Amino acid sequence: MRGDLVYFVQTDTTVGFLSRSAERLARIKGRPSQKPFLKAIARLSTLGEIGRVPRKFRREIRRSRGSSYILPNGQSFRLVRGEHLDFVKRFEWCYSTSANRHGEPYDEKYAREACDVVVESKDGFHAAEPSRIWRVARRKRVKVR
């Protein structure tokens, strides 16, 4: 499996594009390349490479389902679960984004044409509510989305 390919998958939260290449994702979505992407991670041990989690929120993050977090260093991630976990484990981590053009609603036809590989799900593709995003600091957290 090549990490620079763009995969169209049913993620644990909604339909999305996954890749190890942020540049390819930015080009496909038509969004500014300096805008950061969320990393979908398969293991908590990978989190050490992304940044340091404030002690107060470690248990919450370890047990979280369907939530994404922005660390004090500006890096963002989501610990994936379920069927989607098996796919992300192959790469250890992937950049993750919704399967649509920047600022536009989901269009399955566009998503299938824009990606390199379509990873079919046993339940098919369905756009659902995106993950909640929390910005964590040393002592508090703030809901971003």
Residue-wise pLDDT for 17-61, tens only, equals 889 989 999 999 888 888 888 999 988 888 888 888 999 999 998
| Superfamily for the 7-143 domain | DHBP synthase (3.90.870.10)
Q: Is the pLDDT of residue 5 over 60?
A: yes
pLDDT of residue 3: 61
pLDDT of residue 69: 92
pLDDT of residue 77: 92
Nearest to 21 by CA among 36, 35, 3: 3
Nearest to 16 by CA among 38, 44, 48, 47: 38
Q: Where are the domains of the chain?
A: 7-143
Q: Which two tokens stand for residue 17?
A: 């594009």
The string of pLDDT tens digits covering residues 69-93 is 999 999 999 988 877 788 888 888 9
The string of pLDDT tens digits covering residues 99-142 is 888 888 888 888 888 888 888 776 777 677 777 889 999 888 88
pTM: 0.85
**Residue for token pair 């069927």:** 83
pLDDT of residue 80: 87
